[in-house]
Amino acid sequence: MTVDDEAPERLTYDEPDYSDEVGVHVTGQSKAAGSASPFGGERHPDPCSLVMFGVTGDLAHRKLIPALYDLGCHGVLPFGTTLVGYGRQEMTDDQFRDLMRTAIDDHYGEEVVDGSQCDRLLMAPRYVQGQFDDPEGFKRLAAVLDELDGKGARGNRMFYLATPPSQFEVLIEQLGEAGLARPGAFDGEHGPDGARGWTRVVVEKPFGRDLETARELNRVIGQVFDERQVYRIDHYLAKETVQNLLVLRFANGIFEPVWNRRYVDFVEITAAETLGVEHRGPYYEEAGALRDMITPHLIQLFSLVAMEPPAAFDADAVRDEKMKVLRAVRPIPLHSLEDWAVRAQYVQGRVEGEDVPAYHSEERVAPDSYTETYAALKLVIDNWRWQGVPFYLRTGKRLARRVTEIAIHFKRPPVALFRDAQAGGGVQPNVLILRVQPDEGFSLNIESKQPGHSVALQPVSMDFSYGVTLHELPFSAYETVLVDAMEGDMTLFTRGDQAEEAWRIVGPVLEAWAIRPERDISIYEAGTWGPEAADALIARDGHSWRRPVKGVET
C-alpha cells in the first residue's frame, strides 16, 4: 500500500496564463465537480460504521482522515457515521480523537480547519486495540459495531484495509471467522439471518505481486465475501478528470466518432513524480515502478481510454467493457523486450533547483539494487477500433515535473496545405490532453492563423480547468472513493478478474527482468524526463514523448 500523491489536492491551483494566446470558447458536456458519479446526482450515502485497519499509518494520516473531514465540510458525511479505528497500539478513544485532529491539522493547517466540522467528525470516534490475527480483538470489534448499529449506523459497515498488503489475507480471514463479513449483505436491503444493512470491504493496492498472488488473494476474499461487497481501490480512477473522461467521450458527439485508429495516431499515459522513494525504501525495493504504478494505476487508465461504449452506465457494464479491452491487449514479445519495455533508475541530479541523491543513496536502499524507478511500456490492442495504434505508458520517480496526464495524439491532416506556414515545418497534429493531476482539467491543442496579412500558424489551446472555469475544486480522490463505497457504486473500483488480467499483461515483463536484473537497466539523471532508452522506444515508431512544462504545453 502506497500513497502516490505528493501534496494536498484541494487547496489552490496555479493555472497556466493563456492571456497572450488566441481566445477560444467551446461549449460541451462536462461532469460537474463533486457530483455523485460520472453520470450525475448529489451525494447521499447511508450512515455507517467505517472501520479503518491501519488507522495509525501513513495513508490514514495523510489521506483518509482528511478526506473524511472534507466530506463533513461538503455536508456529505451523514449523521450516524462513526469512524472506528482498529490497530495494534494501545490507545483510548480520546487519544484516537487527538490523532485524528493532528492528521487534519497537518493536512490543511490549523488556521484553515473548520472547527465545527472537525468537532462533528471527532464527536465520538471509537478505537479497538488488537493484533490483526487476534480473534479476541475481532470479538471486541464486533461488540462495538453491534453497539453502533443501535446508534444510527443502521447495520451498515465498511471495512477499509489501509494496511500493508501482507496483512490483507489475515484480515479477510479474521473478518470471516468473526462473522463480520455477512456475505449476503451487499445491497443494504437484507443480510444474513434477516439483519438489515450492508457490509463492504475496501482493499488498497497493490493487489498481489504477480498473477499467482493476485489469484490467491481473490480466492481468499471469495471464500469470505461476495464479489458485490469487494471494492478494490484505485484512487487514480477517482480523480475528477478520469471520471470526466467517460463524459467527454460519450456525452459529446464530436469526440467518439474520432476515437479510433482512423484518426488517432498514438496515445501517451504519463504518471511522473518529482519525489524520490523517501522513507519507503524497503517497500520500493520489493515493488519497483512497474508494480507500484503501471499495474494498479496506468493499466486502469488505459482501459478507460480504450474501452468500447458500455451498454449502460452502471458498474457492471463499464467494468465488462474494461475487461474486454484488457483481454485484447497483445502479449508483449519477450524475444524483443527492449522494443516494448524500458526500465531505468535515477542517479544524482537536480530537481526543482535542489540537489538530490541517487536511488542507491536513498535511505534503506541496497547500494547494488537493480530496482527500477522508471518504467515504460508499449501496448497494442488487437481489436477493430485500435488496430495499429500504439499506447505508451510511462512512470518514474525524480522526473522533471509532477504530472499525471493522458494525451491523445491525432493524425495530421491528409494534405499539407500549410507546409511553409510555420517555422516548425507545417501543421502540427492536434493533441487532446486530460490532466489528472495536479491541475485537473483538459485541453485541446489546435492550430490557428496568426493575425496579419501573411498565412502563419500558431498553436492555441482550448482549455477547461476545474479551478478556473468552474471556480470550484473537485472532491479529492479519496473523498470520492469513500463516498462511492458508502453508496455502493462500484464503477471506479477494480473487479477481481480485471486485477488478474492486468498482471497477465505485465507479468511476463517482470519475470524477464527478474531473470537477469542487471541486464538492460538504464540510468537517468534526477530532474530529467527519463532515460534515453525510453526516447528510443517511442522513436522507433516515429513518435516522441511530451515534456509538459508548467503553464506551457509542448
The catalytic residue positions are: 297
User: Could you count the other beta carbons within 10 Å of the beta carbon of residue 418?
Assistant: 15
Look up residue 199 and give its three cell numbers. Answer: 457490509
Cβ–Cβ under 8 Å, residues 401 and 274: yes
- Sheet with strand 82-87: strands edge to edge: 126-129, 82-87, 49-53, 157-161, 199-203, 230-232
C-beta separation of 378 from 339 below 8 A: yes
How far apart, in whole angstroms, are the C-alpha atoms of residue 537 and residue 360?
A: 25
How would you write 109-152 as a 3-class SS string?
Answer: CHHHCCHHHHHHHCCCCEEEECCCCCHHHHHHHHHHHHHHHHHH
Kindly report the backbone phi and psi dihedral angles of residue 202, in degrees, each rounded to the nearest multiple of 5, phi listed first: -105, 125
Closest C-alpha among 155, 236, 168 to residue 196: 155
CB 330 within 8 A of CB 381: yes
Neighbour count for residue 510 (Cβ, 10 Å)? 19
With helix as H, strand as E and coil as C, how does 333-391 read?
CHHHHHHCEEEEEEECEEECCEEECCHHHCCCCCCCCCCCCEEEEEEEECCCCCCCCEE
Q: CB–CB of 479/70 below 8 Å? A: yes
Instruction: Check: CB of residue 6 under 8 Å from CB of residue 274.
Output: yes
Give the count of beta carbons closer than 10 Å to the beta carbon of residue 404.
26
- The CA distance from 391 to 267, in Å, is 5
Alpha carbon 11 to its chain centroid, in Å, reads 19
* Residue 44, all three cell numbers: 447521499
Angle, CA 284 vertex, CA 278 and CA 287 arms, to 5°: 160
